[in-house]
């Protein structure tokens, strides 16, 4: 199983959840928790095992986040197109995507994984700058990956009928 599908399976991402996660509020509030995760993990230095409380709360919010917002209305926001592009990326075995996007996605995710590994080493060794540098680089690479997903969505939604139908979200259809 591919790493992206494994994460989606762990998060129990059904079609209905993906539609809600494509809401810009879901994307931006999820992005906003990255610094909080860093603080929660680093706080073990200051508060020991009590750090499990903020980490636990963040874990619950990370899981709830794509479920609590209304379905997206349309695909104009960058954040919505990013999530829809991730879905296209995950569907790449059924509907092939351009090789340059596949290659770039794997490179960016590989580098982000290595950066996160450096952050973990920094956390374990209590080396603040290594932890912070690895964490920030991993986030930067993740945002770059997500931006590539916008590009992928913009290309694929013009040529694949199934994806073309995503331009007006289910939230918009319910309001008509």
> Structural domain boundaries of the chain?
3-175
Average pLDDT for runs of 10 along the chain of length 176: 56 81 94 95 95 96 93 93 94 94 96 97 97 98 97 94 80 46
Please list the residues that pair with 74 across neighbouring strands. Answer: 168
Residue 60, burial from CB neighbour count under 10 angstroms (0-12, 13-18, 19+): exposed
**What is the rounded CA–CA span in Å between residue 37 and residue 39?**
5
Token pair in block for residue 19: 């539609």
- The model carries a pTM of 0.85
Say what the pLDDT of residue 130 is: 98
Sequence-separated (6 or more) residues with CB below 8 Å from residue 61: 33
- What's residue 117's pLDDT? 97
What gap in Å lies between CA 74 and CA 93, rounded to an integer? 26
pLDDT attached to residue 39: 96
Q: What is the pLDDT of residue 13?
A: 73
Residue 11, pLDDT score: 56
The pLDDT value recorded for residue 171 is 55
Dihedral in degrees, nearest 10, Cα atoms 147, 151, 153, 156: -160
Determine the Cα–Cα distance for residues 81 and 166; give it in Å rounded to an integer. Answer: 10
């Amino acid at each position: 199983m591919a790493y992206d599908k494994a994460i989606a399976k762990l998060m129990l991402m059904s079609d209905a959840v993906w539609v809600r996660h494509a809401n810009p509020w879901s994307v931006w509030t999820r992005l906003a928790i990255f610094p909080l995760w860093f603080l929660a993990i680093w706080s073990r230095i200051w508060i020991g095992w009590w750090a499990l409380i903020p980490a636990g709360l963040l874990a619950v919010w990370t899981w709830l986040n794509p479920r609590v917002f209304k379905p997206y209305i349309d695909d104009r926001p960058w954040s919505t197109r990013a999530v829809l592009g991730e879905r296209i990326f995950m569907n790449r075995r059924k509907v092939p995507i351009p090789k340059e996007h596949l290659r770039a996605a794997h490179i960016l995710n590989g580098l982000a994984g290595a950066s996160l590994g450096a952050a973990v080493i920094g956390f374990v060794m209590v080396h603040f700058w290594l932890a912070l540098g690895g964490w920030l680089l991993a986030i930067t690479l993740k945002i770059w990956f997500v931006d590539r997903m916008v590009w992928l969505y913009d290309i694929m939604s013009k040529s694949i009928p199934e994806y073309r139908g995503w331009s007006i979200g289910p939230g918009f259809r319910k309001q008509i």
